[in-house]
Amino acid sequence: MTKNLGGRQEIVLTPEQIQEIEKLASRLTTEQIADYFGICRKTFLEIRKRQPEVFTQYKKGRAQVIDEIASCLIDNALSGDTTSQVFFLKTQAGWRETQSIETKDTTPPQQLPQINIHVNDKPEHRLKD
């Protein structure tokens, strides 16, 4: 797994570990894969650059699981699952949920009827103390 370069040892993944990456990539993030191998994420990314087959297996694992999930989503949508249908159309067909309320009322505003109130200043009944 390591190769001595006179300073820090460079980590090189074995063919078995590279094959394992395909399976791991379908379920784990790059950070989790790095943790699985006992290295930091930055080191794993450097390994992917140095060993192109590592990145190839990683992409293959990701693509396989995306294909599986997409197939299930499409099967659900075609069998009438409305949630799957809406999700698919939003992500693949550009559907959006927007509300646009446009009002162009050209009728003049109605006037309220005028109410007249008359107050009688002269009390008819006085309360006695």
Give the domain ranges of the chain: 2-92
Q: Cα–Cα distance between 70 and 91 in angstroms, integer?
A: 11
pLDDT-based confidence at residue 106 (cuts at 50, 70, 90): confident
Helical segments of 51-107, H only: 52-78, 82-92
Residue-level pLDDT at 74: 96
- The separation between the first and the last C-alpha atoms of the chain, rounded to the nearest angstrom, is 107
Q: Answer whether residue 109 shows pLDDT above 90.
A: no
Own/partner pairs, 39-42, CB within 8 angstroms, 24+ separation: 39/11
CA distances, 125 to each of 117, 118, 119 (Å)? 20, 18, 15
Residue-level pLDDT at 81: 97
For residue 15, how many other CB atoms are within 10 A of its CB? 8
pLDDT-based confidence at residue 114 (cuts at 50, 70, 90): confident
Residue-level pLDDT at 115: 72
Instruction: Give tens-digit pLDDT for 3-53.
Output: 555 567 899 999 999 999 999 999 999 999 999 999 999 999 999 999 999
Mean pLDDT lowest among 15-19, 68-72, 107-111? 107-111
Q: Answer whether residue 123 shows pLDDT above 60.
A: no
This model's pTM is above 0.75: no
Q: Cα–Cα distance between 47 and 53 in angstroms, integer?
A: 10
